[in-house]
């Protein structure tokens, strides 16, 4: 059985070289404050310094070998999604990004598949870039952030993109980027531990209750970090749907739990107990293995994590370890 990691990040060295040479023209300027090289996007979004491990392909392969991951779906560092760029710069940046990431995955074609990026600030162009990434570059799909430069996904006019993703049957990985702007999470590492899953929860809530998931039921979307808090609050969402339909059921006709089971959820929860609950809520056929490589908050022993989930049959474990992703890949329309 082939094992797949759907949640892993990289910054190809060739992308850094591109940004050093042409980044200013695209609206992404690099600088170094003595603590490391970092980027400023559109003169207003300053990123934290790049982690060298994100560009170390050999270390990545060694880590995969050590942990039993056969194939990793490579996605960029979410902070470099660059939705703050103007449309033309974003379109060019996404194209160059995807071609570079495709080449990076091609260095070990038996170990990597690419998850590209698209310029969601231009939904029509994003749909076109998605088709290019999947059909021309052979990517498995894309990674998208939980907002488009602060605009919630249900208010960003993304129907052309959702339609293209549904038609292609490719994977869309939903990843938090800027946790809860305006909320002070600077103390005690709460921006990561609490803010990121909360950000995903809000994004899924908008996708669900706006009717997007009901209108595009064929979307193959995976929410990282076990879906944020979504699987654990489905009862509350159902209560709102039943008790206050004039607010919660304006745009949907199907129960929230049914719509939530259209999504996929990764295993980066760090505890077999909640993972068992997740499987019980959404089914083993909608849970996939992830690591969040190479970040400290990632799961460094993903296969062991899946093996530790109590009460699963061997078939359920096989689905989570790789069977579900294998099925997704076979269904992509090239």
Q: Residue range 308-333: average pLDDT?
A: 97
Report the candidate in 134, 170, 176 with the shortest Cα–Cα distance to residue 292: 176
Q: What percent of the chain has pLDDT over 90?
A: 98
Paired residues of 75 in beta bridges = 9, 115
Q: Residue range 1-9: average pLDDT?
A: 97
The pLDDT, as a whole number, for residue 75 is 98
Report the candidate in 171, 67, 65 with the shortest Cα–Cα distance to residue 113: 171
The pLDDT, as a whole number, for residue 292 is 98
The pLDDT, as a whole number, for residue 35 is 87
Contact partners, residue 89, CB within 8 Å, separation at least 6: 26, 27
Task: Give yes or no for a contact between 213 and 158, defined as CB atoms under 8 angstroms apart.
Answer: no
Task: Give yes or no for a contact between 143 and 75, defined as CB atoms under 8 angstroms apart.
Answer: yes
- CA 142 to chain CA centroid, Å, is 8
At residue 297, does pLDDT exceed 90? Answer: yes
pLDDT in tens, 283-294: 999 999 999 999
Q: Which helix (H) or strand (E) segment is 246 a member of?
A: helix 245-248
Backbone φ/ψ region at 122: left (φ over 0), alpha (ψ -120 to 50), beta:
beta
pLDDT in tens, 51-62: 999 999 999 999
Contact partners, residue 178, CB within 8 Å, separation at least 6: 145, 147, 150, 199
Tokens representing residue 326 in the block: 């294998």
Q: What percent of the chain has pLDDT over 70?
A: 100
Q: Residue range 122-127: average pLDDT?
A: 98
The pLDDT, as a whole number, for residue 33 is 87
At residue 131, does pLDDT exceed 90? Answer: yes
Q: Which helix (H) or strand (E) segment is 62 a member of?
A: helix 57-67
At residue 330, does pLDDT exceed 90? Answer: yes
Quote the mean pLDDT of the chain. Answer: 97
Q: Which helix (H) or strand (E) segment is 39 a member of?
A: strand 37-41
Contact partners, residue 216, CB within 8 Å, separation at least 6: 162, 163, 165, 166
The pLDDT, as a whole number, for residue 281 is 97
Integer angstrom CA distances of residue 182 from 115, 200, 300: 30, 16, 32
Task: Give yes or no for a contact between 70 and 326, defined as CB atoms under 8 angstroms apart.
Answer: no
Q: With bands split at pLDDT 50, 70 and 90, how would you rate the model's confidence at 257? A: very high
The pLDDT, as a whole number, for residue 288 is 98
Angle between helices 234-243 and 196-209 (to 10 degrees): 30
At residue 253, does pLDDT exceed 90? Answer: yes
Q: With bands split at pLDDT 50, 70 and 90, how would you rate the model's confidence at 63? A: very high
Alpha-carbon Rg for the chain in angstroms: 19
Confidence (pTM): 0.97
pLDDT in tens, 11-34: 999 999 999 999 999 999 999 988
**Cα–Cα dist 227/223, whole Å:** 5
Q: With bands split at pLDDT 50, 70 and 90, how would you rate the model's confidence at 77? A: very high
pLDDT in tens, 161-191: 999 999 999 999 999 998 999 999 999 999 9
Q: Residue range 210-228: average pLDDT?
A: 98
Q: Residue range 34-55: average pLDDT?
A: 95
């Amino acid at each position: 059985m082939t094992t797949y990691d759907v949640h892993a990040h990289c910054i190809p060295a060739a992308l850094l070289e591109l940004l050093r040479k042409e980044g200013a023209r695209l609206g992404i300027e690099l600088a170094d404050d003595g603590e490391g090289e970092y980027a400023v996007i559109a003169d207003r979004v300053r990123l934290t310094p790049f982690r060298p491990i994100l560009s170390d392909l050999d270390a990545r392969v060694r880590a995969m070998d050590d942990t039993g991951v056969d194939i990793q779906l490579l996605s960029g560092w979410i902070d470099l999604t660059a939705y703050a760029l103007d449309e033309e710069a974003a379109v060019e940046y996404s194209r160059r990004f995807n071609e570079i990431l495709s080449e990076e995955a091609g260095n070990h074609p038996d170990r990597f598949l690419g998850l590209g990026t698209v310029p969601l600030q231009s939904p029509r162009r994003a749909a076109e870039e998605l088709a290019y990434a999947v059909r021309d570059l052979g990517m498995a799909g894309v990674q998208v952030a939980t907002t488009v430069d602060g605009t919630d996904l249900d208010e960003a006019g993304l129907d052309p993109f959702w339609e293209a993703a549904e038609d292609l049957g490719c994977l869309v990985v939903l990843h938090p980027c800027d946790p809860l702007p305006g909320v002070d999470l600077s103390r005690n590492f709460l921006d990561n531990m609490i803010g990121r899953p909360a950000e995903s929860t809000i994004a899924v809530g908008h996708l669900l209750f706006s009717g997007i998931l009901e209108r595009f039921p064929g979307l193959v979307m995976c929410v990282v970090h076990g879906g944020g808090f979504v699987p654990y609050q489905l009862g509350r969402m159902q209560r709102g749907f039943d008790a206050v339909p004039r607010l919660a059921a304006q745009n949907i006709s199907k129960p929230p739990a049914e719509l939530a089971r259209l999504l996929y959820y990764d295993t980066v929860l760090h505890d077999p107990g909640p993972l068992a609950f997740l499987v019980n809520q959404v089914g083993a056929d909608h849970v996939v293995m992830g690591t969040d490589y190479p970040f400290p908050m990632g799961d460094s022993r993903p296969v062991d994590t899946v093996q530790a989930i109590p009460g699963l049959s061997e078939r359920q474990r096989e689905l989570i370890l790789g069977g579900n992703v294998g099925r997704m890949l076979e269904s992509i329309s090239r």
